[in-house]
Amino acid sequence: MFPETRNFSAGVVHRYSYRRIWVSEKAGKVVGILDMYPYKDQKIIDIVLRHDYAKTGLPISTVIFSDQEAWPHEWYIDALAVDPDHWGEKIASHLLDEAEVVATKQGYHILSLNVDQENPRAQRLYEQKGYQTEKTMTIGDRTYDHMIKRI
């Protein structure tokens, strides 16, 4: 049986807001997370962070995320992580299934993600789930495969 998966709500601008994160729990402990949002939110999801820049000494004009990660008409999976103590329990697979459900409910027919080329384990999982490499791109100083799945 899979752990419980739930989201707390939807609609806040922040990239890592609890409203954009789905969690997988076992015995009351978070064992996996999925962070995702629609392409159309890509340019606005970090605006709210600017309010906290002053606390760290950053000018409000600082751009933290400048690389494009998602493309038009994609529902983008920004982060997927599973507690290493729970690897092999199909938690990531279950969260990816949840991404399909959410994206479909929001009217999207393409899921996308970027996988570091130095992470073959994740690459295999995504391929097993039906994702295909669409292009290679650089984000920051790393090379990623941009993978999509039509749903």
Helical (H) or strand (E) element with 143: strand 142-150
For 40-70, what is each residue's pLDDT tens digit? 887 666 566 677 777 888 887 877 667 788 8
Query: What are the DSSP calls for 33-61, one per residue?
Result: EEEEEEGGGTTTTTGGGGGGHHHHT--TT
Across the strands, what pairs with 121? none
DSSP summary character for residue 17:
-
Lowest mean pLDDT among 6-10, 64-68, 91-95, 124-128: 6-10
Strand pairing report for 4-7 and 110-116: unpaired
- pLDDT band at residue 108 under the 50/70/90 scheme: very high
CB 24 within 8 A of CB 95: yes
Whether residue 145 has pLDDT greater than 60: yes
Q: Which amino acid is at 33?
A: I
Return the sign of the alpha-carbon dihedral for residues 95, 37, 64, 66.
positive
More confident residue, 28 or 10: 28
